[in-house]
Amino acid sequence: MDRTAAGVQRRRMGKTRFEVYPLCLGGNVFGREGRTDEAAAWEILDRFFEAGGNCIDTADIYADGASEEIIGKWMAARHNREDIVIATKVGFHGGLSPENIRQALEGSLRRLGVDSIDLYYAHTDDKSVPLVDVVRTFDALVQEGMVAVLGASNYSVERLDQALMLARSEGLHEFQVIQPHYNLVHRTEYEGLLADLAVREEIAVFPYYGLASGFLTGKYRKGATVESTRAGTAWKYLDSRGERILAALDRVAEEQHATVAQVALAWLAAMPGITAPIASARTLGQLEELLPMADLVLSQEEMALLSAASS
Question: Strand (E) positions, 27-146?
Answer: 55-57, 85-90, 117-122
Residue 214 near residue 228, CB atoms below 8 Å: yes
Average pLDDT over residues 95-99: 98
**pLDDT value at residue 227:** 67
Beta-carbon-side half-sphere exposure of residue 141 (alpha carbons within 13 Å)? 32
Which domains, and CATH codes, for the chain?
A: 11-214+260-296 (3.20.20.100)
Q: Which residues are catalytic?
A: 62
**pLDDT value at residue 228:** 66
pTM: 0.95
Q: For 234-288, how does the pLDDT look when each residue is reduced to its tens digit (9 = 90+)?
A: 889 999 999 999 999 999 999 999 999 999 999 999 999 999 999 999 999 999 9
Which residues on adjacent β-strands are paired with residue 186? 183
pLDDT top residue among 232 and 65: 65
C-alpha dist (Å) from residue 287 to 104, 129, 293: 30, 39, 11
Strands 117-122, 147-153: pairing is: parallel
Contacts of residue 257, defined as CB under 8 A and 6 or more positions apart, other chains included, come to: none
Q: What is the DSSP letter of 236?
A: T
